Amino acid sequence: MPFADLCRQMQIARGPDEYLKPVNIGLLMFNTDPSRFFRGAIIEIVEFKDKIGDKFTEKIFSGPIHHQLRAALQYLKNSVIKERIRKLDTRAEAERIFNYPLTALEEALANAVYHRSYDNQQR
């Protein structure tokens, strides 16, 4: 199958053969650097270490948008989410408490990335 036909069937490009152009989702998902086309096509995670905001760590994720999402979620899981284990005298099992629920962070980040308006961010 010709590449142009494949892109049309996947609905990641539109137009006649002489002026076939990628659509936004094609650039976001299948381009190694979508930030070349959309300024906001990166994920930035900033973790503040104090209440004033002077001390913080920043992690930037780039590349295809679905790779960014996976990497950012892995970073949150490994570096941001902390677990506290407390042994209770009344039960055999220990109580596990997390600072953030992983499923809530996954849902919030996925919604932020996939439902963001990339149209207004073009250079």
19 lies in which domain range?
A: 1-30
pLDDT, tens only, 22-51: 998 899 999 999 989 888 899 999 989 888
**79 and 56 share one domain:** yes
pLDDT of residue 122: 47
Each residue's pLDDT, cut to its tens digit, for the chain (123 residues) gives 888 899 999 999 999 988 999 998 899 999 999 989 888 899 999 989 888 888 999 999 999 999 999 999 999 999 989 999 999 888 888 999 999 999 999 999 999 998 887 766 544
Residues 16 and 71 in one domain: no
Q: Give the phi and the psi of residue 73 in degrees, each rounded to 5.
A: -65, -40
Q: Do the Cβ atoms of 34 and 122 come closer than 8 Å?
A: no
How far is Cα 47 from Cα 111, in angstroms, rounded to an integer?
A: 20
Residue 116: per-residue pLDDT: 83
- 8 Å CB contact between 63 and 73: no
Does residue 66 share a domain with residue 16? Answer: no
Q: What is the pLDDT of residue 119?
A: 67
Could you tell me which residues come within 8 angstroms of residue 61 by beta carbon, excluding any fewer than 6 positions away?
42, 43, 44, 45, 67, 68, 71, 72, 75
Residue at 20: amino acid letter: L
State whether 68 and 106 are in the same domain: yes
Whether residues 73 and 99 share a domain: the answer is: yes
Answer yes or no: do 57 and 11 share one domain. no
Domain tally for the chain?
2
Residues 25 and 48 in one domain: no
pLDDT, position 91: 87
Same domain flag for 50 and 18:
no
